[in-house]
Amino acid sequence: MGRPTPPEATTPAPGHSDRSAGAGSTATLPTAEYLRTRLAESVEKSGIPGASLAIRVGDRTVATAVGVLDVETEYPATTDSVFQIGSITKVWTTTLVMQLVDEGLIDLDVPIRTYIPDLRLVDEDAAARVTTRHLLCHVAGFEGELFEDHGNGDDSIARLVASLATVGEQLFPPGETFSYSNAGFDLLGLLVEVRTGLTWERALRERIVAPLGLTHVANNATESILLRTAIGHIGGPDGTNVKAPVHHTDRNGAPSGSALATTATDLLEFAAAHIRLGRLSDDRRLLSEESARAMREPQIEIVGNGAFGARKWGLGWILYDWSGGEVVGHDGGTIGQGAMLRVVPERDVSIALLTNGGALYGVYDLICELLDTLADVRPPAPALPPAEPPAVDASYLVGSYASPAQRFDVAETEDGLTVTTRLLGRLGELLGDATTTMRVVPTSERMLICTEAVGGRHQQFLFLGEGERAEYLHVGRAMRRIPDTGAE
């Protein structure tokens, strides 16, 4: 595979910084033409309608875009097009929270009820104990996959949080087990609203977007329509890309990633402030150095084998176990859109990829190649199904597991083990509740892996519990076993 060639020209990033950077700050950026060619190749093989890619090294940026924003209008994707960044939004929400820590308005380790006295969860003991740090690290333990729409009013996040008193369950005691939680970050959004007196969207604009001088940021469809906006796409009945049924799901999910859209270059401007440890290009501060460092410090081990080298969680940031240096980042997905952000702070290198359908991780090899060249970091080998799977007791694994958003059925057939998935609740209503069945093989007594790659990777399934049968299926988030009804 080819390597990036020296650029004919690069685009200066907004502002100027005298920050001290690692070796990557003098790396030769690829040309936009080279990037466009390589991105086009990856996008075509991955069934992606349109994509935007940007690389930042020090204060130099190169960006490109390929494909279309909408398969029906065939409006071309450009570098100033905005795409939804999904759960990368969680790093922005964390930044808001840490600003409030800097201002003495939040203590990470006191109960959330200190600030939201009427907080109720299904489990009263958990409601009294859960802290801001628990939420930032995805260890609060309550059900996190809640995608119901609580309206477009300024109270939408508060209404979602109120629903936590009756919806879902407490899966683990606070602080015990990692389980990725969108609802936890929506609760953090309410915390931001309570402590600032602003809506989450206004706090984001006043405290992050404006200080960074970002010009292409949208929080909803009304704002998006004023910009060159990517439309999400999903697979149609014949496998081709069709428009997603909605532009974004709900306002109450904005703090966890349902709505925020921006360009790849604006996303890297946000990342650059974190590389500078909270300092803006004009020496004002987005965050204190202490808070910026704390966000990149390990807080919790990820249960099982995290995808793409994800091994630990900081405050907001995912910490990747790559060789050659520290790598942090986050990925995001909404209905029909996907995003990827990787940052190598010691080398002052960052890459953002935004897409509007298809297989996001079909471009992962290109991202890894670029980071290897520019920052001398490399991901661990991907998880692959073993040539000779070990023999395991399937009775421990077989059964049904579910959250309010998804159900997994693990079955033993004549041809081996299978996992069948089906969307539930509002996601099922929007995207359909058709089932998808995958062949899997064991890698250990408590881990299964898909025999075929889906979306660019072989998904793994971890099973937890000390009894004769697993109590939980864990795929980044935990789902409890559904009691047998005799119908299996």
Question: How far apart, in whole angstroms, are the C-alpha atoms of residue 82 and residue 244?
Answer: 16
**Residue whose tokens read 């690389």:** 55
**Residue whose tokens read 């966000």:** 295
Find, among 5, 126, 152, 11, the residue nearest to 80 by Cα: 11
User: If you ran DSSP here, which 8-state letter would residue 88 be given?
Assistant: G
Question: How far apart, in whole angstroms, are the C-alpha atoms of residue 279 and residue 102?
Answer: 14
Assess contact for 464 and 443: CB atoms under 8 A.
Answer: no
Angle (CA) 222-226-232 rounded to 5° is 70
DSSP per residue, 120-179: --SSHHHHHH-BHHHHHTT-S-B---------SSTTHHHHHHHHTTTSS-B-S-TTSS--
Q: Which of 87, 179, 258, 281 is catalytic?
A: 87
Torsion of CA 41, 45, 46, 50, to 10 degrees: 50
The number of helices, as runs of H, and strands, as runs of E, in the chain is 13, 22
User: If you ran DSSP here, which 8-state letter would residue 253 be given?
Assistant: T
- Mark whether 46 is an active-site residue: no
Question: How far apart, in whole angstroms, are the C-alpha atoms of residue 354 and residue 470?
Answer: 37
Find, among 401, 406, 385, the residue nearest to 458 by Cα: 385
Count Cβ atoms within 10 A of the Cβ of residue 287 and give its class: 0-12 exposed, 13-18 middle, 19 or more buried: buried
Angle (CA) 62-258-482 rounded to 5° is 125
Find, among 312, 322, 315, 362, the residue nearest to 342 by Cα: 322
SS3 197: coil
Q: Which residues contact 310 (CB under 8 A, 6 or more apart)?
A: 302, 318, 319, 320, 321
Which residues are the active-site residues? 87
